[in-house]
């Protein structure tokens, strides 16, 4: 491994894939809808840190479009929204349902809302951490937002 000292950053496991935005469970065929990105993220380690730009990782060396394994009829791409955004969306959805005179869900509402994420488990300064980034977020490791993993 490129980084070997106890205080250095070492990527233990990185997964780039599709999750259900409500349950945060991996979806689809794991071979098509997610990939082991450990080597790709470790490649970007320099001076015990990783800095990836705020862009879809599918455009970066060694990554691919993990959404290609899903049928577009069954999902909509979900973007992380603020609480205010969801309140507005839910309010408008209720108005539309009443206007239609039916409480039955529309086809769009039946679709799964999915997000593409990069999860990274890494070792730094003798501790193991785990963090998740949305696809278009910048990645900065080590991360102050990471959770310490106890084994």
How confident is the prediction along the chain (151 residues), in pLDDT tens digits per residue?
A: 444 566 789 999 999 999 888 887 888 666 778 999 999 999 999 999 999 999 999 999 999 999 887 776 656 655 555 555 555 555 555 555 455 444 444 444 446 688 999 999 999 999 999 999 999 999 999 998 899 988 7
Q: Is 55 left (phi over 0), alpha (psi -120 to 50) or beta?
A: beta
pTM of this structure? 0.71
pLDDT of 107: 42
What is the C-alpha to C-alpha distance for residues 75 and 95, in angstroms, rounded to an integer? 23
């Amino acid at each position: 491994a490129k980084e070997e000292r106890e205080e250095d950053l070492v990527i233990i496991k990185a997964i780039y894939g599709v999750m259900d935005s409500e349950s945060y469970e991996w979806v689809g065929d794991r071979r098509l809808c997610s990939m082991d990105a450990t080597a790709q993220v470790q490649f970007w380690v320099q001076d015990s840190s990783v800095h990836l730009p705020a862009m879809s990782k599918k455009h970066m060396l060694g990554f691919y479009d993990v959404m290609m394994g899903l049928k577009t009829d069954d999902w909509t791409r979900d973007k992380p929204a603020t609480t205010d955004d969801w309140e507005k969306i839910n309010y408008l959805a209720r108005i539309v349902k009443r206007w239609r005179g039916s409480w039955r869900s529309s086809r769009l509402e039946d679709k799964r809302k999915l997000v593409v994420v990069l999860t990274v488990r890494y070792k730094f300064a003798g501790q193991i951490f785990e963090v998740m980034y949305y696809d278009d977020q910048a990645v900065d490791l080590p991360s102050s937002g990471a959770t310490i993993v106890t084994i």
